[in-house]
Amino acid sequence: MENVREQLRLFVRRFGLLNASCCEVCCGEQVSLVQSHILLEVRRVGNPSMQQVADELGMDVTTFSRQAKTLEGKGLIARRVSPEDRRVTLLGLTGEGERVLGQIDRYMATKIEQIFSFMTPFERETVSRSLGLLNEAVAKAGCCCAPSDENIACCK
């Protein structure tokens, strides 16, 4: 198991997941890695509540609220009150948020294609299947919180 841990550690480092300015590199924007995850989640769900996104990313709502306020200040997301429940704040991407996320998407697609270019089609399929299996196992194990099929975050 130590080898698996070492392989994961190397992957995280080499892929740049610890790079605090990853999005400045890929799209020239002042967007942090956490903020890019928020943008992705807002797009994935489509007008989610702040609580939904905070829960999905494993962030406490206070920390999340600060990040959302920063993204709103940059003109990347818009916040609005839910018509069904005025206590709930919904999030949506602005046109500028869509543009920035598009840049991030293109950069990541290029980076992944570059990485996969060193593999045969069989190896690509094997890696893709293996990542799927790993993600399923992590969801089932629940890491250090209660298991959830939908929760991406490991720890809260």
Tokens of 21: 């300015």
Q: Is residue 41 part of a domain?
A: yes
Q: Is residue 4 part of a domain?
A: no
Q: How confident is the model over 60-72, as pLDDT tens digits?
A: 989 999 999 999 9
Q: How confident is the model over 6-44, as pLDDT tens digits?
A: 988 888 888 776 665 555 566 666 788 889 999 999 999
Q: How confident is the model over 36-61, as pLDDT tens digits?
A: 999 999 999 999 999 999 999 999 98
Q: Is residue 114 part of a domain?
A: yes
Q: Is residue 69 part of a domain?
A: yes
Q: Return the amino acid letter for 72.
A: E
Q: Is residue 100 part of a domain?
A: yes
The count of domains in the chain is: 1
Domain extent at residue 133: 19-141
Residue with tokens 């916040």: 79
Sign of CA pseudo-dihedral 45, 51, 53, 56: negative
List the CATH number of the domain containing 65. Answer: 1.10.10.10
Q: Is residue 5 part of a domain?
A: no
Q: Is residue 33 part of a domain?
A: yes
